[in-house]
């Protein structure tokens, strides 16, 4: 199923731009405003959404995206009433069905239950690669609380926005003595580029071959959309884990929708409520 999703999402975003662009073109080519504008608007919300992902600073959205669905359904109704050709209405339905699949099917990760990352229990043994052939294990994280963010890679705009949010909290996290580790299976060159971009004293680490993600049961097989050159097919599910100074899990966000992620203030709240801060 994930292989189908890899193909689907690339095709979906392309199709939304094509349909909305074609509808707008037909407005000027034919001078018929209402039907073609309505057709364009069946796909335009989806095109705007992906544009916001890649051009904006969007770390999360609502689960059901009402701002996308409302104009889409209204535009389809107008298309149905004003359609001069059956083909036009069919194309409108293609845009609507594609968007519904994106919202309710593609965005849902189908994440299995996790028996490895358990609140109140020690985090299983991990070993991650750092710069200059260094490694980081559980022992290296001991003595201070730690926030671990498993992200999919530099290609994921929501992941990049989430990392930026946490980077903006650097002073607050540092004041509480919290170590922060950003972890993905991408290449060291991509990871080093990310570290330079944000320029904060976090640990930017590589999980080679997703070995740690597999150990922690957060591996998303075939989770990388088609066309992301330079990246493996597999990636971790977006996951945030907070550890106490003894290495026990005190919080784990394992979202089952890649667009629904916790606000950054949630992490500070957990750290403060659990009394994890150290000098």
State the chain's mean pLDDT as an integer: 95
Number of alpha carbons in the 13 Å side-chain half-sphere of residue 270: 21
Q: Please tell me the distance from the alpha carbon of residue 183 to that of residue 193, in angstroms, as a whole number.
A: 14
Which fold is adopted by the domain 127-273? Glutaredoxin (3.40.30)
Has residue 11 got a pLDDT over 70? yes
Q: Please tell me the distance from the alpha carbon of residue 279 to that of residue 38, in angstroms, as a whole number.
A: 60
Q: Please tell me the distance from the alpha carbon of residue 140 to that of residue 143, in angstroms, as a whole number.
A: 8
Q: Which residue has the higher pLDDT, 54 or 82?
A: 54
Global confidence as pTM: 0.93
Query: For the residues 217-239, what does the mean pLDDT come to?
Result: 95
Query: For the residues 134-162, what does the mean pLDDT come to?
Result: 96
Least confident of 38-52, 71-85, 101-115, 159-173: 71-85
Has residue 84 got a pLDDT over 70? no
Has residue 187 got a pLDDT over 80? yes
Q: Which residues contact 211 (CB under 8 A, 6 or more apart)?
A: 127
Q: Residue 270: what pLDDT? A: 97
> At CA 213, angle to CA 210 and CA 218, rounded to 5?
135
Asked if 99 and 72 count as a contact pair (C-beta separation under 8 A), the reply is yes
Confidence of residue 186 (pLDDT cuts 50, 70, 90): very high
Confidence of residue 83 (pLDDT cuts 50, 70, 90): low
Query: For the residues 168-183, what does the mean pLDDT come to?
Result: 96
Asked if 54 and 34 count as a contact pair (C-beta separation under 8 A), the reply is no
Has residue 1 got a pLDDT over 70? yes
Has residue 82 got a pLDDT over 90? no
Q: Please tell me the distance from the alpha carbon of residue 254 to that of residue 113, in angstroms, as a whole number.
A: 10
Query: For the residues 170-195, what does the mean pLDDT come to?
Result: 96
Query: For the residues 206-224, what does the mean pLDDT come to?
Result: 97
Query: For the residues 251-256, what does the mean pLDDT come to?
Result: 97
Query: For the residues 80-95, what does the mean pLDDT come to?
Result: 86
Q: Residue 32: what pLDDT? A: 87
Q: What residues does CATH 3.40.30.10 cover in the chain?
A: 127-273
Go through 3-16 and write b for each residue having 16 or more CB atoms within 10 A of its CB, e for each that does not.
Answer: eebbebbeebbebb
Confidence of residue 2 (pLDDT cuts 50, 70, 90): confident
Q: Please tell me the distance from the alpha carbon of residue 208 to that of residue 39, in angstroms, as a whole number.
A: 46
Percent of the chain whose predicted confidence (pLDDT) is above 70? 99
Q: Residue 87: what pLDDT? A: 85
């Amino acid at each position: 199923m994930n292989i189908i999703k890899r193909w689907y999402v690339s095709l979906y975003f392309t199709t939304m731009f094509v349909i909305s662009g074609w509808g707008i073109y037909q407005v000027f080519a034919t001078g018929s405003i209402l039907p073609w504008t309505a057709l364009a608007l069946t796909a335009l919300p989806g095109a705007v959404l992906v544009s916001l992902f890649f051009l904006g600073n969007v770390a999360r959205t609502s689960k059901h995206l009402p701002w996308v669905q409302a104009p889409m359904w209204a535009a389809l109704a107008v298309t149905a009433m004003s359609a001069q050709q059956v083909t036009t209405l069919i194309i409108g339905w293609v845009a609507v069905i594609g968007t519904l699949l994106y919202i309710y099917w593609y965005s849902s990760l189908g994440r299995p239950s996790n028996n490895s990352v358990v609140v109140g229990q020690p985090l299983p043994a991990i070993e991650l690669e750092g710069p200059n052939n260094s490694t980081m294990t559980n022992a290296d994280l001991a003595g201070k609380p730690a926030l671990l963010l498993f992200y999919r890679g530099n290609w994921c705009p929501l992941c990049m926005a989430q990392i930026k949010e946490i980077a903006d909290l650097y002073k607050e996290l540092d004041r509480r003595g919290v170590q922060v580790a950003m972890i993905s299976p991408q290449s060291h060159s991509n990871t080093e580029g990310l570290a330079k971009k944000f320029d904060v004293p976090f640990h930017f680490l590589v999980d080679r071959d997703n070995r740690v993600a597999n150990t922690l049961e957060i591996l998303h097989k075939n989770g990388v959309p088609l066309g992301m050159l330079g990246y493996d097919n597999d990636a971790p599910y977006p996951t945030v884990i907070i550890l106490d100074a003894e290495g026990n899990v005190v919080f784990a966000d394992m979202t089952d929708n890649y667009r629904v992620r916790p606000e950054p203030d949630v992490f500070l709240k957990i750290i403060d409520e659990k009394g994890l801060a150290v000098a």
